[in-house]
């Protein structure tokens, strides 16, 4: 009479079949740039227990008052599909596109990395920055601030390399993303 219980002890109200594959997706959300719209989007994630890895937002069409929000999120494919649908329910949302599902996308992030050091460390920092095509945007006798643009992985790598040399702090913008080719979201 009882259906077989899955091996993994899941909640009886969970629909998961025990095979959990967590994926990272980048969602692009076109919204009306009106007060509270970001709170609606962020509140949806906190209210329903979804993850936000990174979030960027800026107005992209001044005349039409449109902003583009780029969200990097993680979850099972079902959860991510649900997130898209939930976002579409928000009234000022025009369009939600799962860029990861579309395939060819370009993702970029900008970081400012402050490094402190003297002597050989200072030289090493400059050499590495050169290799990563980071620009120096501020310098003092014992510090640099590098500006670096790239995919998140490249920035992670750069930050890790700076750590032993004298990393002070990092400020990152979060990911902006766009599809390749002539099409739009």
Which residues in 80-119 contact other proteins (CB under 8 A)? 81-82, 85-86, 88-89, 91-94
Question: Of the ranges 53-61, 78-86, 107-115, 122-130, which one interacts with other proteins (CB under 8 A)?
Answer: 78-86
**Which segment (33-41, 103-111, 129-137, 151-159) binds other proteins by CB under 8 A?**
33-41
Q: Rule CB under 8 A: is residue 5 a binding residue for other proteins?
A: yes
Q: Are 145 and 137 in contact (CB under 8 A)?
A: yes
The 3-state DSSP class for residue 28 equals strand
Element (H, E) at 120: helix 120-131
Instruction: Tell me the C-alpha to C-alpha distance, in Å, between residue 110 and each of 13, 56, 129, 141, 173.
Output: 42, 11, 14, 25, 6
Interface residue with other proteins, options 17, 103, 119, 181 (CB under 8 A): 17
How far apart are the C-alpha atoms of 123 and 117, rounded to whole Å?
A: 9
Residues binding other proteins (CB under 8 A): 1-3, 5-6, 9-15, 17, 32, 35-36, 39-40, 43, 47, 78, 81-82, 85-86, 88-89, 91-94
């Amino acid at each position: 009479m009882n259906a077989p219980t899955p091996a993994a002890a899941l909640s009886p109200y969970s629909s998961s079949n025990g095979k959990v594959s967590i994926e990272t997706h980048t969602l692009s959300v076109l919204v009306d740039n009106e007060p509270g719209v970001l709170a609606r989007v962020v509140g949806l994630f906190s209210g329903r227990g979804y993850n936000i890895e990174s979030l960027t937002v800026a107005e992209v069409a001044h005349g039409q008052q449109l902003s583009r929000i780029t969200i990097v999120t993680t979850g099972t494919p079902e959860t991510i599909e649900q997130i898209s649908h939930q976002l579409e329910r928000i009234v000022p949302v025009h369009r939600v596109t799962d860029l990861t599902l579309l395939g060819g996308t370009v993702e970029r992030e900008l970081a400012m990395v402050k490094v402190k050091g003297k002597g050989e460390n200072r030289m090493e920092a400059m050499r590495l920055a050169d290799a990563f095509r980071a620009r120096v945007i501020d310098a003092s006798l014992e510090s640099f601030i590098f500006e670096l643009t790239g995919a998140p992985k490249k920035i992670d790598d750069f930050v890790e390399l700076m750590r032993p040399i004298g990393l002070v702090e990092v400020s990152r913008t979060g990911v902006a993303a766009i599809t390749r080719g002539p099409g739009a979201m």
